Structure 1
Amino acid sequence: MDSVPTAASAPRRRPRAGGTRPGKIDASVVLNGLPDPVLVVDGEGEVRFVNLEAQEFFDLSASVLEGMALAELLPPDSPVMGLIEQVRRGSRRVSQEGVVIDTPRIGPHHVTVQVAAMGDPPDHVLVTVHERSIARKIDNSLTHRHAARSVTAMAAMLAHEVKNPLSGIRGAAQLLEENAHDQDRVLTRLICDEADRIVALVNRMEVFSDERPLERTAVNIHTVLEHVRTIAQSGFARKIRFVERYDPSLPPVYGNRDQLVQVFLNLIKNAAEAAPETGGEITLTTAYQHGVRMALPGGDTRLHLPLQVSVQDNGDGIPEDLQSNLFDPFVTSKVNGTGLGLALVAKLIGDHGGTIEFDSQPRRTVFKVSLPMYDESQISQAVSRVRGVRGGR
């Protein structure tokens, strides 16, 4: 006869620490941890809940969004309204790719929208917005880094193979100039000037071949932006109106102040040159985002990139044929441009372990830079590793 397990012999579940079951997880905590914007819309078409990503996406706080009619947030003819109506008619879940969400506050965004019935309450629907995938962001970031590395190799080659012959050419032109007639002296001066111009270009490119470890510390990004804005308004952007949308609660960036100044000086200079002569406007925005973790070059350390800085202008936009290669060297739409500014920006951001991306539409071009925040525990680990290497010598 088979034995029947008694209470004493039956296997017992291992008791949880503390002897009690954990409390129920709040659904809002889970939704706030998602990397995509999520909205809950009730049967009257009002927004009842938004997660943190939705607040960042629409650039509005939960206190403003929750209770707002969706028709006030999105145009009445938005495809999102049609998707919600399909779910109201009985569809369990519907989605559509290539939807353009366009508001005066955030401009156009090309997204995928998914709408699903919640069931409880029965008249509520869940709207999820999928922006460009994280994989695509990482792929773009790596592409920009590869472009910067191609400039690094070119810079090393040019420094060795070009500058020395140019020095000889310039010296020969100066010797000819001593005994040349006035008409010929114009030509020798042209040779010297063009040789100097090429050397100056090579000197600019040599910055890319600097492979020394980046010296980083805690940097207040708002101090950097204010410094760059002051420089800009004192010179090339004196006729531009600046709009600042800063989040004063941001923690410091883990970065190199001088290089960050160079990054945003280049971006703001490009924005100023793209802005119209009359009514030119540059918007500087800082925000905290939940997003991608990226590996620092030359190591296995992965940094969270929660700090986002945006530089937006109201110019005509970037020509479509340049957008796919915008961070490559010598790609530019400027008549006298060298096409090295954005390549340098990509290198410096890559050295920080950060990412840079852009979105360009007529009257609205925005560059978004994501950077790591200062983490004392990571700094301590880095110092310990350096000391360990030194101690082993």
Structure 2
Amino acid sequence: MTSKRPLPDGIKDASALPLAVLNAIQNPVIMVNETGHVVFANWEAESFFGASANYLARHEIRAFIPFGSPILTLIDQVRERLAPVSEYRVDLSSPRLGADKLVDLYVAPVPGAAGCVVVVFQERSMADKIDRQLTHRGAARSVTGLASMLAHEIKNPLSGIRGAAQLLETSVNDEDRALTRLICDETDRIVSLVDRMEVFSDERPVDRVPLNIHSVLDHVKAIAKAGFARHIKITENYDPSLPPVFANRDQLVQVFLNLVKNAAEAIGDKPDGEIMLTTAYRSGIRLSVAGTREKVSLPLEFCVHDNGPGVPSDLLPHLFDPFITTKTNGSGLGLALVAKIIGGHGGIVECDSQGHRTTFRVLMPASKGLTAPEDGPIPTKGTS
């Protein structure tokens, strides 16, 4: 006698189990029949196409994708060969689906259903976030080694050069004294740069506590309005229901102060310049934490938006690499340090820039089972 397999809690009918599994998948999944109609779409596919499963079922797949899309060719190919195929970086950008819609596709035949194929979409935006994060962490590690070398091999000779210049300063005329002063000033500037790079080689563990991110952002805003961004409008759009973030307060202040300062410098003297700070809860992103095998969810999204001139497209992929900067006198270490700090917290930092709209987005894990201590309840704030 064949025994029945036990069903998971909450599933009363075995026929509902496959549907529950498909709806739990965070990728859009559809099934197309022999006539090209979408006969099944999971919840993620409904969100991806902006239509309900019932609406999708009344139309062919060609009605929802750009004209001439390779998806149709892939579906025909799978029907002929009865074998799955994959295609990477397929552009589905359209007014219906939105701009910059790059996806990876997996198309496979459905056994026992003649002419039916399953199409799985993997949005490249999520994959690119993971790729960029690994790149940023690698860049931070390369700077770590460089910083250690510079600290030992450069600072000691520089102190000797500065000492010699100070001795010369006491025995030369006024005209030459200006040159010895120049030597001292430039030596101090190089030492200051090396000191900034030494931060990358600091691998000591930091104290972390559950933090109210809105308290951190309000502190950063107060510093900015009292100094470098006094002439720029700064607004907030906070999600009042966010859980605490498990982080080091001083390092988060350093991160967002750097991002807000960059936004203010990008805006410059623009009369209608504006910086917006936003927080939100976004599910779906999971990432491996450095040094562990576990995967953590990164649902907390903290953004710094500005309406400056934007970041050049050729610079965007390398923005978090060390010594990459658009500033005339910049060192290119600020964003590399941001990537190091956020990566050390198990998070992701990325930049999106289109036209006159630039967004630096920080994704971090939430604090589990803890409450924010001294900061009190998270304030309810709308756009001010």
- Whether the aligned pair in 1 keeps the contact of 2:104 and 2:124 (CA below 8 Å) is no
> Conserved in 2, the CA contact under 8 Å of 1:35 and 1:53?
no
Deviations 1:186-227 (A, max 9, x none): 000000000000111111111100011232221111111111
Match of 1:370 among 357, 363, 371: 363
In the alignment, which residue of structure 1 is the partner of 2:277? 284
After TM superposition, the structure 1 = structure 2 runs for residues 351-370 of structure 1, keeping only pairs within 5 Å, are 351-370=344-363
- One-letter identity of the residue aligned with 2:366: M
Q: Secondary structure at the match of 1:272?
A: helix
Is 1:143 equivalent to 2:135 in the alignment?
yes
Percent identity, please: 53
Alignment gaps of 5+ in structure 1: 1-10, 40-48, 67-79, 115-126, 378-393
Q: Is the 8 A contact 1:102 1:109 kept in 2?
A: no
5+ long unaligned stretches in structure 2? 31-40, 53-61, 77-86, 106-118, 371-384
| C-alpha distance in 1 between matches for 2:348 and 2:9 | 46
Q: What is the RMSD computed on CA atoms of the aligned residues?
A: 4.0
Deviation at 1:350, TM superposition (A): 0.8
Partner of 1:259: 251
Counterpart in the other structure of 1:13: 3
Query: Is 22-31 or 253-262 further displaced after alignment?
Result: 22-31
Shift of 1:153: 0.6
Do 1:243 and 1:283's aligned partners in 2 also have CA atoms closer than 8 Å?
Answer: yes
Once the two structures are superposed, what CA deviation does each residue of 1:320-356 show, in whole Å capped at 9, x if it has no partner? 2222211111110101110000000010011011111
Counterpart selection for 1:205 from 197, 200, 207: 197
Is the Cα contact below 8 Å between 1:99 and 1:113 reproduced in 2?
no
Structure 2 length as normaliser, TM-score?
0.72
The structural deviation recorded for 1:83 is 3.0
Asked whether 1:35 is paired with 2:21, we answer no
Paired amino acid for 1:219: L
SS of residue matched to 1:346: helix
Please identify, of 157-166 and 12-21, the stretch whose mean Cα deviation from structure 2 is larger. Answer: 12-21
Q: Is the 8 A contact 1:36 1:54 kept in 2?
A: no
Contact 1:296 1:303 in 2 (8 A): yes
Letter in 1 for 2:250: D
Q: Is the 8 A contact 2:304 2:360 kept in 1?
A: yes
Q: Which one-letter code corresponds to 2:323 in the other structure? A: F
Q: Does 1:167 align with 2:149?
A: no
In the alignment, the residues of structure 2 paired with residue 129 and residue 20 of structure 1 have an alpha-carbon distance, to the nearest angstrom, of: 28
SS in 2 for 1:321: coil
The change in CA–CA distance for 1:18 and 1:251 in structure 2 (over 3 A counts) is closer
Q: 1:333 aligns with which of 323, 326, 335?
A: 326
TM-score of the superposed pair, with normalisation by structure 1 = 0.71
- SS of residue in 2 equivalent to 1:232: helix
Relative distance call for 1:93 and 1:254 in structure 2 (3 A) is farther
Distance in 1, matches of 2:200 and 2:266, equals 25
Moved more, 94-103 or 137-146: 94-103
Which stretch of structure 1 is more off in the superposition, 131-140 or 335-344?
131-140
1:1-393 matches, within 5 Å, as 11-14=1-4, 16=6, 22-23=12-13, 25=16, 33-36=24-27, 83=65, 97-100=90-93, 108-112=99-103, 131-275=123-267, 277-376=270-369
